[in-house]
Amino acid sequence: MKFVDQAIISVGSGKGGHGAVHFRKEKFVPRGGPDGGDGGRGGDVWMVASSRARSLYDFHHRRHHSADDGRAGGDSGSTGRSGAHLELVVPRGTQVFDAESGELLADLIDDDTRICIARGGNGGWGNARFKTATCQAPDKANPGLPGVTVSLRLELKLLADVALVGLPNAGKSTLIRAVSASQARVADYPFTTLTPNLGVVRHREATFTIADVPGLVAGAADGHGLGHQFLRHIERCEVLVFVLSATDELPPAEALAVLRAELGSFDETLLTRPAMIVLNKADVLGPEAKDEAARLSVALGEPVLAISAATGQGTPALLDALLPHVAASSSAPIVAPYDPHAS
């Protein structure tokens, strides 16, 4: 299934059913009173997060979604049937914005978090409600109220604890495959990865998620390569791993400078996020790799870990170093959990 991480949709809640005008007709009751029932309520539109949903693909194809209308009231005071509510299931990590004002309506993070986007219209009163002392036979009933239509922008931001950031071909996908069950595609050419991959890492007692986003290149901010379009997926991660290739023509320190410049031009705060630097493809350098990593570490003034995503060398040490960051991770939803009894 295609990975789609943005969609613009419109949702409409159901109309309320009309109230009925009706009079009791019974044998031997010459002038039965009014007994027209109320219309049923229109259905609401809800959004609910679920780990079963993986992308916003369905919304890319179907743009309009509406709940059912309420039915009209009936005879003998019977209320019309309410319209069924509509539940739209989105992946965890979906942010829902009002497309017109840009306001963030909900950040659906936990499984089963839900929000009512559009309330259904109330049903109209039937004529039984209008009977008064002076008006015993009202022929008046209210129409049902209309539903509301809302334009929404959905934006999926993956919820990974760790994000791998690197130039194309640095070995990010090889690394996510090495440490998780992800089947990310690996190949010896740039831009093998076109959409983010998520993997679940189980290391010692901990379980955390790791994201492999498409390679970044210099000028991504101006739309080079795949541009910045996937960087929003790393906004919520706890820790970044800069994956540098030891065999690239571009020296690793320069590669890191390119990556940091691109992250910074997308979102300055990403530069203050805890980060780890790995020098990948250590197997190619052989025993030299450790010294190379040490030299780089001195030059940068930051720790650098030599690893080989291909052979697994150094990856347990990387996962160990990530543990303190991911253990602290917790993301709280900004909307209250669904309460079916709340009005």
Ligand X SMILES: Nc1nc2c(ncn2[C@@H]2O[C@H](COP(=O)(O)OP(=O)(O)OP(=O)(O)O)[C@@H](O)[C@H]2O)c(=O)[nH]1
Give Rg (Cα) of the chain: 29
User: Which residues does residue 106 pair with via DSSP β-bridges, in sequence order?
Assistant: 96
Among 66, 193, 209, 245, binds Mg ion (CB under 5 A): 193
Query: Closer CB to ligand X, residue 94 or residue 169?
Result: 169
Query: Closer CB to ligand X, residue 172 or residue 232?
Result: 172
Cβ at position 261, least distance to ligand X in Å: 17
Spatial separation of the C-alpha atoms in residues 106 and 294, rounded to whole Å: 46
Quick check: 6 and 56 in contact, CB under 8 A? Answer: yes
Query: Closer CB to ligand X, residue 11 or residue 309?
Result: 309
Cβ at position 107, least distance to ligand X in Å: 28
56 burial via Cβ count (<10 Å: 0-12, 13-18, 19+)? buried
SS3 147: coil
Among 50, 151, 192, 229, binds Mg ion (CB under 5 A): 192
The partner in contact with residue 121, picked from ligand X, Mg ion, none with C-beta cut-offs of 5 to 8 angstroms by kind, is none
The partner in contact with residue 26, picked from ligand X, Mg ion, none with C-beta cut-offs of 5 to 8 angstroms by kind, is none
| Site for ligand X contains 281 (CB under 6 A) | yes
Query: Closer CB to ligand X, residue 92 or residue 172?
Result: 172
Q: For the chain, how are helix, strand and coil distributed in percent, rounded to 5?
A: 20, 25, 55
| Site for ligand X contains 250 (CB under 6 A) | no
Cβ at position 211, least distance to ligand X in Å: 12
Cα dist from 73 to 37, 41, 261, whole Å: 4, 10, 64
| Site for ligand X contains 50 (CB under 6 A) | no
| Site for ligand X contains 314 (CB under 6 A) | no
> Tokens at residue 59, please?
């919304």
Greatest C-alpha distance within the chain: 106
| Site for Mg ion contains 197 (CB under 5 A) | no
Instruction: Measure CA of the first residue to CA of the last residue in the chain; give whole Å.
Output: 37
| Site for ligand X contains 215 (CB under 6 A) | yes
Residue 90 parent element (H or E): strand 86-91
Options 88-96, 130-138, 191-199, 223-231: segment touching Mg ion (CB under 5 A): 191-199
For the segment 143-182, give every residue that binds ligand X (CB under 6 A). 166, 168-174
| Site for ligand X contains 197 (CB under 6 A) | no
User: Contacts with Mg ion: how many residues (CB under 5 A)?
Assistant: 3
Spatial separation of the C-alpha atoms in residues 213 and 46, rounded to whole Å: 30
Q: Which of 140, 124, 144 lies closest to 132 in space, CA to CA?
A: 140
Quick check: 207 and 329 in contact, CB under 8 A? Answer: no
For the segment 163-182, give every residue that binds Mg ion (CB under 5 A). 173
| Site for ligand X contains 259 (CB under 6 A) | no
Give me the residues that bind ligand X (CB under 6 A), please. Answer: 166, 168-174, 186-188, 190-193, 214-215, 280-281, 283-284, 308-310
Residues of the shown chain interacting with Mg ion in the complex, contacts defined by CB under 5 A = 173, 192-193
